[in-house]
Amino acid sequence: MSFPFRPALILLPLALAACGRSSTDQQNLNSLDAELTNGTRDPAVGESLGAQIMVDPRLAQSANTGGTRPQQQTGPGAVPADVALQKDPVDPATLKRAPAPSNDCPECKSADGALTLGALAERQKTPDSATCAQKIGYSAGWANRLPADLSLYPAAWLTEAAGADRDGCRLRVVSFASAAPMQKMLDWYFTKASAAGYSAGHSTDGKQHVLGGVRGNDAYVVYVTARAGGGSDVDLVSNAGR
């Protein structure tokens, strides 16, 4: 089974979703967008998320529900190489080493050319991927609705987030950057996924690394590439959002 997927400073620090997202749900997402970009999020909520992350304010400004990626972000990991990312707060001693990668990476090839998060989601191999990808909407709030056991990496810079909750979908797709090196990022997600009961497969094409697995009908995939000057660019996809 394969698992294909893929600024000013603002601080921010899959339970079955309803088949149809209500207007209240959308209002909540819009409200969260505003809080994230205006810096008014309750500190207690930030603590509950584990750590602050940095949010590109353009993300909320261009939030939409039509499934079209914001025009100013035309490629994954759209964070300039010279952006000063937050210091990586994760202690490597708490992590398990990700399995050695296979050099056969069809997932890497499948993800090439996907310029939107919806396109990345559509290339997943889970049964509902294509259908749910057609219902995708963009909003910073989706990053707060990732699975609790596969959350955003601490101190990440969030560049894009999307999701779908309609008709039984629980799709979540996010792109972010981190000061954490590629191997540490892979180790962190492997540690989280294995602790939550997911399987984990690791492959690479020599540039991009893909970590993915399943737990029953739930699936995840993490795409990691090294950033120039250090750190990682990451795309995370899950069909088990909360």
Place of tokens 């492997």: 190
- Classified as helix, coil or strand, 111 is helix
- Classified as helix, coil or strand, 24 is helix
Residue 29 lies inside a defined structural domain of this protein: yes
Residue 75 pLDDT more than 90? no
- Classified as helix, coil or strand, 23 is helix
pLDDT at 56: 53
Residue 203 lies inside a defined structural domain of this protein: yes
Confidence of residue 188 (pLDDT cuts 50, 70, 90): very high
Structural domain count, the chain: 1
Of 116 and 12, more confident: 116
Confidence of residue 156 (pLDDT cuts 50, 70, 90): very high
Residue 115 pLDDT more than 60? yes
Residue 123 lies inside a defined structural domain of this protein: yes
Confidence of residue 130 (pLDDT cuts 50, 70, 90): confident
DSSP string computed for 193-229: HHHTT---EEEESSSEEEEEEEETTEEEEEEEEEPTT
Residue 98 lies inside a defined structural domain of this protein: yes
Residue 25 lies inside a defined structural domain of this protein: yes
Residue 99 lies inside a defined structural domain of this protein: yes
Give the residue among 134, 141, 143 at the shortest CA–CA distance from 116: 134
